[in-house]
Structure 1
Amino acid sequence: MISKSTIDAVFDAARVEEVIGDFVHLKKSGSNYKGLSPFVNEKTPSFMVSPVKQIWKDFSSGKGGNAISFIMEHEHFSYPEAIRYLAKKYGIEIEETEQSQEEKELLNEKESMFVVSEYAKKYFQDTLLYSEEGKAIGLSYFKERGFTEQTIQEFGLGYSPDKWEAFTSDALGKGYSLEYLEKTGLTIVKEDRKFDRFKGRVMFPIMSMSGRVLGFGGRILTNDKKAAKYLNSPESDIYHKSKILYGISHAKQEIAKKDNCFLVEGYTDVIQMYQAGIKNVVASSGTALTPDQIRLVNRLTKNITMLYDGDAAGIRASFRGVDLILEAGMNVRVCPLPEGEDPDSFARRYTLEQLEKYFAENATDFIRYKANMLMDEAKNDPIKKADLIRDMVLSISKIPDHIQREIYVQECARIMDISEEVLFNSLAQQGRKELQEANKKYIEERKKLEVVHNKNDQEKRPENNPIYVLERKVIEILLLYGNIKEVFTELVYEVNEDNDIIVNEHKVENKVYERVFLSLQEDEIHLTNPLFKKIYSSLIDYFNHKEWSLESYLKELDPELSGEVTNIIMDDEKWTLHKWESQNIFVKHKEQSIAQYVTETILTLRMYLVSTLIDKYKQKLPEEQDSKRSNEMLTVIMDYTNLINLFSKRLGQVTSRFINIQG
């Protein structure tokens, strides 16, 4: 178990903008930063980071929190794993305390798979660097490829012994579960036999954006024609080939810094380019690009440069993936390499300066590159040229920006020697076709969701419930102003010499949290929303015992509560009420004092909560058979009615909803 001093050190060191900046390309927006949501596919930034408050909010998915919660949400880490990750990032030594058996059992299945995968990475690398077989076969292979020891260490390269159970036996001997060895695909289990999947291969760990080991790629070094040259881990709960790009953990910062991502095909292409100094490079690992892979890059940059080895067939096969990139609103450039070269060999042959110069001079906009390439293939064949036009129109139609589309139409018309009008007409036809397909899909989805929508329509949305809004505003007041001292006006009822009741105003100085607490105590009112109730209790307890600090307060909350707290704080900048004034719910304006705002909010909440009590008594009254009990209930109703009228007067408004209690 990680010690409290380590956790405190991590919280003190971690800057939310730095942590999130490793995963999301952030741009300055006033005092905050904005970027594309890493949780949903979007084209307009709705992800906000506040360096001042040290919190983040994703308005698309509704998620929010601090640096720790972001790592937990994004990487699906447990709390201890998130602490370990950030400790490593900030160079903080982790102090451990004894872990109980109960805590050990809390490790869930995915966490166990990650633990096994991390162990496997270390085993394969140790075998490569320190065993005779590993050095003679694996290490010599990597050195022949030109990889330095530093590069081998940095990418966690390794070697799996050419024995059936070498890795499995070692793992089992160290107490790792066969269940998780099998689930990660590291061990194959057949009846009473178990053996290593990657026997006799050099190993490439495949890591998530944060550097977490998800799976492995293994390359065989023999000429066995029956065995696949490259073998990947099978799909599992932690490894999804279509959702990861090889090298993304090493490239993410450089991609954001250079505002460009080089895309290659294989593991060694990435490693060789990285070693040469081109560090903003990732690989699709031989698979066609997927929307999830594109989204990984899109978080960091809008620009992709694809490096091709000059094979025309391979380039054409990649066109569909490029259309997906264009559809995501990204800019794609193509850089063909000289004949006979691939990114691996090319990076070995030239210096960093020469590589950068070549890419700058030879990278071409994809649409222009595709048009020129297809025109060369079509030559003077009118049928092929017609197909070419349709192909180009399909690609251009994927571009969401209208101005960019028009520029490409003009450029393609020039390259293909065809009128712009023909291309624009074809583009319009393609647009209508896509619209029809989208409408058809939309109608089908609506039919599927009709039952759910009907159910949701019948249920009252919480944000449309006045009590929900008011209780949320109470939490917001405590978070924003709780520790501030304000002068409040109290109405005190006194009896004069003539025995008349008079109302006197008294000025009292309180901290806002004290005023909220005392006001709610007057009617013995409790918040009705379970989540708000927990947050309210934790806030009052914190204010009573500690000096207020949002960062320190968030440390002590569990993820469920801290997420909601973050939502409330960040929504202060976005939250808009729809005609709440008509329901006696007040929004704080700049000219309004905090004391006035607090008083109005609390009084209005008390008014609504008391009104619910009146409604309950009114519903029970007709059913009451006992006249004595019935009279008591009427008295309670009238007392509560008088209280409502008092609230209304203090608010300076008359609310018709509460005037006629008997009606």
Structure 2
Amino acid sequence: MIDRTTVERILDAAQIVDVVSEFVTLRKRGVNYVGLCPFHDDKTPSFYVSPAKGVCKCFSCGAGGSAVHFIMRHEQITYPEALRWLAAKYNIEIQERELTDDEKREASERESMFIVNEWAKDYFRDIMNNDVDGQAIGKQYFRSRGIRDDIMQKFQLGYALPRRNALSEAALKKGYKEEFLVKTGLCYRKDNGELADRYAGRVIFPWFNVSGKINAFGGRLLDSRTKGVQQKYVNSPESDIYHKDHELYGLYQAKKAIVKEDCVYMVEGYTDVIAMHQCGLENVVANSGTALSIYQIRLLHRFTQNVVLLYDGDEAGIHAAMRGTDMLLGEGMNIKVLILPDGDDPDSFSRKHSAEELRKYIAMHQTDFIQFKTDLLLNGVSDPVKRSEAIASIVKSVSVIPNQITRDTYIRECSHRLQMNEQTLINTMNGFIRGDREDKAKELEREQRRLQNRQDGTTATQGADNGTATNGTELPRIGLHTVEEQSTEVERMLVQNIIRHGEEIIFDGLETEDGQTISLSVAQFIDYDLSQDGLHFANELHNRILAEAVEHNNDEGFRAETYFMHHPDVHISQLAGDLAINRYQLSRTLEMQHKPETLRQRVVHLILDFRMDIVKRHLKDIQIQLRQAGNDMERIMQLLQEQKETQLLRDTLARKLGNDIMI
């Protein structure tokens, strides 16, 4: 691992204008530089680079960050790889942190497995291109499927000889250990202990991980041998370097196109991916027969939040489209669905059409998930019970969407399409949301009990999302336990002030109850004020930033902006870079002088706004609960009292903010 001192040297040496200029033509505009954004089809310059802050940002598509983040996104590489890229550019020698014995052993084994897989990929390629049987059987099979030689090269396709020990013998002669041939899954041991090749007689599809390393293989029986055979494909077993629910076939070849198009097509199989690449559509991946997992969705979300599910029109294809919908929605993905004409899959369909024809067909026939589920579940349904179950299923899908505005938009659309009362759909959706929240709270409580039971003695546990402390008393959270917690613009602005000015003193000489005099920085004051009512940010990353700013506030030479821009957690450093730059920045002679008094007023006002947001959301939640209380008068009286107290709190905050009170 790269040691922290070397990381600091790399980050200090990397000049943002110098790095970006290798890929973007920049021209000076005021104290900043501007150019065409390399991450989307930019017609007018919207990509700004600030040499003073060391960050860049596109104010059209939002891409940006530090020099490291720019290289990560542009080259589609990981954080450590981007650091190494910059180290090479600035001739900085990489100093590796000394690994423990366990870390060394684990790293050595993983690297050995990657090396064996890389050799095997070349071995399969060599057999297909240079062996007589490889050319006559393997290459001929791919050509019969219409796959060109350049696409075979792009995906490094190969062929395994039918002899059951051909690969193992070749690997052992090259000096590769049996241990890693078995661990990678290239070979397995028979009952008599002999090694046998897993993929004998199959055409080979290597799996590349997101960094381009070979972590697995898929092998397919040839068409003449698949009749009556259930297992056409054999894939690598789970290993230290391959977890099938963490990987997506074709992502390495597709990732740059996904970023450029800001969209990904999800298909089912290897040949679907390959055929679409050959057709000219490269932003396509496959989960290859496994149920879509949360890990795969989050991996995709690094590149885009727009996904088109492109599946066969048969029952299996429709089922595949249905089963991943709610999980994708729950991770904030925007979903379109395209079911191809019955009898066609993406492979066969793309071979019949040019890239332009395929794009037009997709644009004309893709539907949003509501229309898809509506057509699928309600087409020809007249039975009231079945119809209500179908509508409930659609509303449940909407309920998992994390963004409230998106949810409201979909509910309005559902109301229009289904000819249902919008309030009825909202009440149903809120019921699903509360039920899901309660399930999560119960699961959290169960997990806390399990952890507590494993510990010696009694350990205080944090209250679950229901807002109760460990002694059973309710925390004064201004109703946070009944309000859906969302990261608001006000919260983001508070975090921006922590990053930009976290260490700056805004209260000096404050007298405490015991007569002592203290000073509070921006970060310390925000932390102190929120803690008085047990409040916290909705975004856990924001909470981490505040906690670390307070923790390091008294460190000598601490500057929050530099600290967070250079943070080892790429998510924090990316956010810091995003919040550190203004689109319009005056020259230094015209720039408004920064005063502690102005900063103090801004922070205090933002905290009041933050509290007001919480109170308003709580009042809305009470209104919903009142409508759902029915004839339960005891519950209604409790809610009315809670509403009265919350309104008084709202009125107090409004007076402090200088706003008119809106009843």
Higher deviation after alignment, 304-313 or 439-448: 439-448
Q: CA deviation at 1:284?
A: 0.9
Q: 1:127 to 1:303 in 2, by over 3 A?
A: same
Question: 2: CA distance between counterparts of 1:456 and 1:356?
Answer: 54
Query: What is the CA deviation profile of residues 266-317 of structure 1, one whole-angstrom value per residue up to 9, with x for unaligned ones?
Result: 0000000011100100011011111111111111111101112211453134
Code of the aligned partner of 1:118: E
| 1:407 positional shift | 2.5
- State the SS of the aligned residue for 2:556: helix
SS in 2 for 1:216: strand
Query: How far is 1:226 from its partner?
Result: 4.8
CA distance in 2, matches of 1:334, 1:566: 30
**Are 1:203 and 2:204 matched, yes or no?**
yes
Deviation digits for residues 480-502 of structure 1 (CA, Å, limit 9, x no counterpart):
9xxxxxxxxxxxxxxxxxxxxxx
1:48, 1:256 → 2: CA distance?
Answer: 13
The residue that corresponds to 2:395 in the other structure is: 393
Q: Distance in 2 between the 1:227 and 1:372 partners?
A: 32
Structure 1 residue 413: deviation in Å?
Answer: 2.8
Q: CA deviation at 1:339?
A: 2.5
**Most deviating of 233-242 and 562-571:** 562-571
1:172 — aligned with what? 172
SS in 2 for 1:124: helix
Shift of 1:387: 1.4
List per-residue Cα deviations over 1:27-76 (Å, max 9, x = no partner). 968743579xxxxxxxxx9x97312xx47899xxxxxxx99971359xxx
Residue in 2 aligned with 1:281?
284
Q: What letter is aligned with 2:435?
A: K
The C-alpha deviation readout for 1:328-383, integer Å capped at 9, x for no partner, is 11110011212211100111101111111111111111111211221115x21222
Contact 1:372 1:415 in 2 (8 A): no
Q: 2:113, 2:184 within 8 Å by CA — same for their partners in 1?
A: yes
Tell whether 2:445 aligns with 1:362. no
Q: AA paired with 1:108?
A: S
Q: Quote the residue 2:250 is aligned against.
A: 247
Q: How many residue pairs end up in the alignment?
A: 447
Q: Which residue of 2 aligns with 1:314?
A: 317
Indicate which of 421, 424, 427 corresponds to 2:429: 427
Please say if 1:344 is aligned against 2:347. yes
1:595 is matched with which residue?
A: none
Distance 1:217 1:307 in 2: 21
Q: Is 2:563 aligned against 1:473?
A: no
Residue 438 of structure 2 is aligned with which of 418, 436, 439? Answer: 436
SS in 2 for 1:318: helix
Residue 231 of structure 1 aligns to which amino acid in structure 2?
A: V
> After the TM superposition, which residues 33-72 of structure 1 pair with which residues of structure 2 at under 5 Å, given as runs?
49-51=65-67, 54=68, 70-71=79-80
Pair 143,321 (structure 1): closer, same or farther in 2 beyond 3 Å: same
Shift of 1:447: 3.3
The residue type paired with residue 70 of structure 1 is Y
Which stretches of structure 1, 4 residues or more, deviate above 6 A after TM superposition?
A: 10-14, 16-19, 21-24, 27-30, 55-58, 66-69, 104-107, 461-468, 564-575
Q: Cα distance, 1:125 vs. partner?
A: 0.6
AA matched with 2:342: E
Change over 3 Å in CA distance of 1:322–1:292 after alignment to 2: same
C-alpha separation in 1, matches of 2:300 and 2:558 = 38
Q: Identify the residue that residue 557 of structure 1 maps to in structure 2.
A: none
Q: Which residue of structure 1 lines up, in the alignment, with residue 158 of structure 2?
A: 158
Deviation at 1:563, TM superposition (A): 4.3
Matched, 1:216 2:225: no
Distance 1:574 1:363 in 2: 36
Percent identity, aligned pairs only, is 38
Q: Partner of 1:147 in structure 2? A: 147
Deviation by residue 1:205-243 (Cα, 9 ceiling, x = unmatched): 011112111100000114254562000000000011001
* Aligned counterparts of 2:289 and 2:129: Cα–Cα separation in 1: 28
Look up the equivalent residue of 2:423 and give its one-letter code: E
Partner SS state of residue 202, structure 1: strand
Once residues 374 and 574 of structure 2 are traced to their aligned partners in structure 1, the CA distance between those partners, rounded to angstroms, is 50
Counterpart-to-counterpart distance in 2, 1:346 and 1:462: 49
Kindly indicate whether the alpha-carbon contact (under 8 Å) linking 1:49 and 1:57 is maintained by their aligned counterparts in 2.
no
Is the 1:210–1:249 contact (alpha carbons within 8 Å) kept by the matching residues of 2?
yes
**Alignment partners' CA distance in 2, 1:18 and 1:210:** 22
Q: 1:417 aligns with which of 408, 419, 438?
A: 419
Contact kept, 8 Å, 1:323 with 1:395, in 2: the verdict is: yes
Deviation at 1:569, TM superposition (A): 12
Deviation of 1:400 (Å): 1.7
Supply the distance in 2 between the matched residues of 1:129 and 1:16 (Cα, whole angstroms): 41
Higher Rg: 1
In structure 1, stretches of 5+ residues that fail to align are 1-7, 36-44, 59-65, 74-78, 93-101, 481-549, 555-561, 576-588, 593-663
Q: How many Å separate the matches in 2 of 1:424 and 1:399?
A: 13
Question: What's the offset of the Cα at 1:439?
Answer: 1.8
- Mapped to 1, the partners of 2:401 and 2:121 lie a distance apart of 41
Any conservation in 2 of the 1:56–1:566 contact (CA below 8 Å)? no
The structural deviation recorded for 1:248 is: 0.2
Candidates 213, 228, 233, aligned match of 2:236: 233
Give a deviation string over 1:501-552, Cα, whole Å, max 9, x none: xxxxxxxxxxxxxxxxxxxxxxxxxxxxxxxxxxxxxxxxxxxxxxxxx9xx
CA distance in 2, matches of 1:567, 1:335: 36
Do the aligned partners of residues 198 and 572 (structure 1) sit closer, same or farther apart at CA in structure 2, a change above 3 Å counting?
A: closer
- Deviations along 1:94-144, one digit per CA (max 9) or x if unpaired, are xxxxxxxx9x99961000000001111100011111100100111000001
Structure 2 residue aligned with 1:135: 135
**d(CA) in 1 for partners of 2:314, 2:556:** 62
Q: Which residue of 1 aligns with 2:116?
A: 116
Q: Shift of residue 147 of structure 1? A: 0.9
Change (3 A) 1:206 1:476: same
In structure 2, what residue type is equivalent to 1:49? G
**1:400 aligned counterpart, secondary structure:** coil
State the secondary structure of the residue aligned to 1:439.
Answer: helix
> In the alignment, is the contact (CA less than 8 A) between 2:309 and 2:321 conserved in 1?
no
CA 1:463–1:286: 2 relative to 1, 3 Å:
closer
Partner of 1:597: none
CA distance in 2, matches of 1:233, 1:324: 26
Q: Deviations over 1:397-446 (max 9, x none)?
A: 11122222223223223333332233222112212211221221232233
Gap change, CA 1:563 and 1:416, over 3 Å in 2: closer
Alpha-carbon spacing, 1:226–1:572, altered in 2? closer, same or farther (3 Å): closer
Secondary structure of residue in 1 paired with 2:379: helix
Gaps of 5+ in 2: 1-9, 24-36, 41-45, 92-100, 463-543, 581-592, 597-663
Aligned mates of 1:564, 1:195 — CA distance in 2: 43
**Alpha-carbon distance in structure 1 between the residues aligned to 2:431 and 2:405:** 18
Is the CA contact 2:254–2:285 (under 8 Å) kept in the aligned structure 1? yes
* 8 Å contact from structure 1 (residues 55, 67) kept in 2: no
AA of the residue aligned to 2:323:
R
Q: In 2, are the aligned partners of 1:55 and 1:566 still within 8 Å (CA)?
A: no
User: Partner of 1:373 in structure 2?
Assistant: 376
Cα distance in 1 for partners of 2:369, 2:275 equals: 25
Instruction: Kindly report which structure 2 residues correspond to 1:624-635, keeping only aligned pairs within 5 A, or say none.
Output: none
Q: How far apart in 1 are the matches of 2:353 and 2:432?
A: 44
Aligned CA RMSD, in angstroms, stands at 4.7
Give the 3-state SS of the residue equivalent to 1:473 in structure 2. coil
Q: Does 2:326 align with 1:323?
A: yes
Distance change >3 Å, CA 349–CA 470, structure 1 → 2: closer
